[in-house]
Amino acid sequence: MKKVIPLYENLLSREAYLDDIRNDQMKLERYMLDNYNIVFSELDNTWYRIDSSNIDIKNKFELGIITKIITGENILNKGTSFVDEFENGFDGNLCICGCNKCKSLFKLYHKKTRIAFLVGSSCIEKAGHEDFVRNVNCATRNGRCKHCNIPLKITGKYKNYKKSYNLVCMSCRKTKKIYLRIHYDEKDHFKQYFKTRWNPDLKYWYWKGYEDELPEVLKKRVLNI
């Protein structure tokens, strides 16, 4: 007579098997490819989907199933993941959950392992990052800071930019010394009206302030130092 194994023993056996392959990267990659058509990129430390799953699961559009196999945690539980708003999205429409209607893909990171999964914005919101889509829309509409790559926000609680800042966020916008070509007989005029100063070491006059606020009359006198 065939021995009937109780359901909980089957589940425990499956969990033990997944715990085993989770500690063996080669086995894990083989398992994910054979069953889910999900592969791992060592270059980006990222898992991504290349096709629909090869097995029949009740809810294919479930990111938690995939991430629990790989990390041991359901990444949809709040507090287990994070997104890096400084990163750009990727071209593609196939989320790791199985959805193939994404406009772009983004990295969703597992906190403990810092392993990333390429997912659509809907899954990122499901993981508890409700502001993510708003930030992406800001990046599309206003651009990203040319220094740190953060989405630029013109309005709201997290405003970090004005259009006059020339694609530089408030955090990266710093005053700088801009050296100028000023002749000796012009120094008093520029000192009085434009607050220019003298650098005794370099022996050049300079204007200090935000680059986007440099007076128009000084722009033709800028030195590349």
**Averaged over 200-224, what is the pLDDT?**
94
**pTM passes above 0.75:** no
Mean pLDDT (whole number) for 115-143? 92
pLDDT > 70: what percent of the chain?
90
Structure tokens, 39: 């592969």
Query: Does the pLDDT value for residue 94 go beyond 80?
Result: yes
The pLDDT value recorded for residue 22 is 80
Calpha distance 74→97 (Å, rounded): 12
Average pLDDT, the chain: 88
Q: Identify the pLDDT of residue 4.
A: 41
Helices 25-36 and 7-22, interaxial angle, to 10°?
Answer: 120
Q: Give the per-residue pLDDT at 60.
A: 60
Check whether 184 has a pLDDT greater than 90. yes
- Is 170:213 a contact under the CB 8 Å cutoff? no
How far apart (Å, rounded) are the C-alpha atoms in residues 73 and 77? Answer: 8
Q: Under a CB-based contact definition with an 8 Å cutoff, are residues 180 and 206 in contact?
A: yes
Q: What is the pLDDT of residue 55?
A: 63
Specify the 3-state DSSP secondary structure of 33.
helix
Note the maximum CA span of the chain.
109
At 225 the pLDDT is 81
The model's confidence at residue 5, banded by pLDDT at 50, 70 and 90, is very low
Q: What is the mean pLDDT of residues 24-32?
A: 91
Q: Write down the pLDDT at residue 58.
A: 58
Going by C-beta distance under 8 Å and a sequence separation of 6 or more, which residues neighbour residue 113? 71
The pLDDT tens digits of the residues spanning 33-51 come to: 998 899 999 888 899 999 8
Q: Are 63 and 49 in contact (CB under 8 A)?
A: no
Q: How far apart are CA 222 and CA 65, in angstroms?
A: 59
Measured in degrees and rounded to the nearest 5, phi and psi for residue 59 equal -130, 90
pLDDT of residue 62: 81
pLDDT value, residue 43: 87
Kindly report, residue by residue over 100-122, the tens digit of the pLDDT. Answer: 999 999 999 999 999 999 999 99
211: three-class secondary structure by DSSP = helix
